[in-house]
Structure formats: C-alpha cells, structure tokens
Amino acid sequence: MSESRQRPPFKGPRWIITLVVLVAVVVITAFIYPPRNSVACYMFSGPGCPLYQQFLFVPSRELTDNEAAAQVVMNEIMNLPLSKTKNPKIAFMFLTPGTLPFEPLWEMFLRGHESKFTIYVHASKKSPLHTSSYFVGRDIHSHKVSWGQISMVDAERRLLAHALVDSDNQHFVLLSDSCVPLFDFNYIYNHLMFANLSYIDCFEDPGPHGSGRYSQHMLPEVEKKDFRKGSQWFSMKRRHAIVVMADSLYYTKFKLYCRPNMEGRNCYADEHYFPTLFNMIDPDGIANWSVTHVDWSEGKWHPKLYNARDITPYLIRKIKSIQLAYHVTSDLKKVTTVKPCLWKGEQRPCYLFARKFNPETLNRLMYLFPNYTSMV
C-alpha cells in the first residue's frame, strides 16, 4: 500500500490573507460605526443608522387604533420643515384671574419692539382693566379656571390656539399676572428665538407628588414609566405648540384621570400633562427646565411671594445668576438632580422671567428696571 500523503502547507501570497483581514475589519467597523447619512450606512445598516433603528424597533405591545392615529399625526408634525417668516415674533400669553398689575413694567420692557411680539390675555374671573395700550384689545374668549383642575390646561391650550393664528408667532411664552422680565427685550428675544429647544420643565419624580399621582386608568397609552412632572410655566416652539393643538388622545387621559381627590390622590394636570406628553413624543426637543423662576424654598403649597421690602438689586442679581437647574424628588430620599442650563452648548442663566411678585412691588421694580435688566 502506498503511503498516505499529507496536504502541503498553504504557500499562497501573503497579500491575499492581509486583504481578507482588512476587508473583514472594514465591514465590521462600518456595521458598528457607519456614517449616518451615507451610502455605507444603508449598505451595512449598522446600529448608528436611522434605517437600522427603524427596522430594529419593535413595539412592546400592539397600539390601539387611536394611539396609532395619534402617532401618525405627531410624526407628521414633527417632520414638517421649520416654518419661515420674514418677521418672527414672540407670543406673550398671560394667564390671569383679572387685571394685570404689572402692565406698566411690561410696557417699559416692550417699548420700541412693537414688530417683534404679540400679546394675548386669558382672564378667568373678570375682564381686566388695561393701563397699557399694548394690552388693550388683546383679551381672548376666556373661561373660568380652577387651580389644580384640567381647566388650567384648557386655558393654556386656548391661548396657544389664538396665538397660532398669527403665522409670524414662532415662540410662545406662558406668563402669569405676577410675572416680571429679568432681562431686556433683545436678550430675551434672541435667547428664545434662536434656541433649538422648547423650555418645558420635565423630570421623573418617583415620590407621592410625582409618580404617586399616576393612575392605572391611563393605560395603555400612558404608562407609569413615562409619567413626568414639571412647572406649568412653559416657553415652546411653534412646532410643539401645533402638537399640543393636535393632541386629543393624551389630553383626554389627563382630563379623565388626573384630577384632585381621585382614588385618594391629588393629580394636577397642569403639572403633568405637558411634561409627560413631550417626554413621550420629543424628549430631546425640550430643555427640561422652565425659563420662569419660582422660589419653592418655603416648602408650602404655593411659592414664595415677593413683597416690596424684598425687591433689591441683590435679589434680582441672585435670580439672574442661577445657571443650574435643580429638581428634588418628593419621596423620603429627596434625591436632587442638577443640570447646567445650556444654550446651544453654552452655559447661560436659566431664567428669563420670575414670579411671584406682589402688586405692591411695581414701583420698586420700575425704579430698578433700567439697571437690573442689564445686570450680569
């Protein structure tokens, strides 16, 4: 029998082996780190590609008919091209029970910028008596508003609806009768108009005044993990304002199941509806803090009320110098989260407005106004 012969070792060119290894490395790298908007992205469909993410996404449950329809509408709105106008304006929307005591101060703030703003006033108890020409004729059809009730959200949506009629309105600021501006008009206009975010306060609070207010009746559309809390005093882009107007599904859930004295808990829709809605549909499009400062240091149901003796250059400078946003949970742990207030990557003061000021502070504020708006 002939001896069995072994296969001789491979002696092919080494460059072939090297080439194969390099191609393998390129393919693996392109899969893991593809250019997001390139042909390679769609060839390899790696985790960094929108297409990959789209195919990878699998809903955790079957959507209801209403939910599927709502998501289609929301996605269409969010994908619309940014509206362009030759004269972009800020809509200042005042939610007040009646007369606005700080109209003279707002007139000082607005004077000389008439083409860059519009004003809307929702008076929930009695028709206001206006002292400034900027506010005359700016009242909208209003309804009664009760603290903690869905009627507060209704009033905010009503203001947005009227303000959206003017296509020049590109940013929408909700203000109360006790709000005052902290900076001059140009600074606030540029800060809001050229920001890439809406300033909607939003954070997760596992405590009794946060997720403890959630109702299982909100299922399946609103899950507890998506439930958020925040200040009602928002400032939002036009696209987000249109989303609010288009929403009926999530709004109805809060109307029915987020109210005081429901199932032994007090849920306040104005503190949860907007934060939860935008946490679900566009979490990266909101700043997660409000541009309106409120002092809750007294630990009461309502924020600190500033009286005439409190109004000093030091107080104004102190509020304007805040560059960190704080959130504290309502559970026993009292976990505090701190976030820098960034404007296009640059750390800036968090607050453009402040409340809650007693009407008696008007004269003192007007005296300080020319100087305090320019304070650093």
How does pLDDT run across 196-217, given as a tens digit for each residue? 999 999 999 999 999 999 999 9
CA-CA distance, 359 to 372, in Å (whole number)? 18
CA-CA distance, 364 to 10, in Å (whole number)? 92
Residues 38-87 pLDDT 10s: 434 433 434 444 433 333 334 567 888 888 888 889 888 888 888 789 99
For residue 7, pLDDT over 60 is answered with: no
Q: What does the pLDDT average to over 314-322?
A: 95
Q: What does the pLDDT average to over 104-114?
A: 97
DSSP codes, 99-110:
--TTHHHHHHHH
For residue 13, pLDDT over 90 is answered with: no
For residue 148, pLDDT over 60 is answered with: yes
Nearest to 36 by CA among 22, 47, 28: 47
Look at residue 265 in the predicted model and tell me its pLDDT.
Answer: 87
Look at residue 323 in the predicted model and tell me its pLDDT.
Answer: 97
| Across 77-81, 257-261, 348-352, least confident range | 77-81
* Position with higher pLDDT, 35 vs 161: 161
- pLDDT above 90 covers a percentage of the chain that reads 71
Residues 270-281 pLDDT 10s: 999 999 999 999
DSSP codes, 12-52:
--HHHHHHHHHHHHHHHHHHHS--TTSHHHHHH--TTSHHH
- Domain spans, the chain: 65-290
Instruction: Look over the chain and give the mean of its residue pLDDT values, rounded to a whole number.
Output: 86
Look at residue 51 in the predicted model and tell me its pLDDT.
Answer: 39
CA-CA distance, 176 to 290, in Å (whole number)? 14
Residue 159, class by beta-carbon neighbours within 10 Å (0-12 exposed, 13-18 middle, 19+ buried)?
A: buried
Which pLDDT band holds residue 359 (cuts at 50, 70, 90)? Answer: very high
Q: What does the pLDDT average to over 226-235?
A: 97
Which fold does the domain 65-290 belong to in CATH? Spore Coat Polysaccharide Biosynthesis Protein SpsA; Chain A (3.90.550)
Residues 164-192 pLDDT 10s: 999 999 999 999 999 999 999 999 999 99
Look at residue 24 in the predicted model and tell me its pLDDT.
Answer: 53
Look at residue 374 in the predicted model and tell me its pLDDT.
Answer: 65
For residue 6, pLDDT over 70 is answered with: no
**Could you count the other beta carbons within 10 Å of the beta carbon of residue 289?**
22
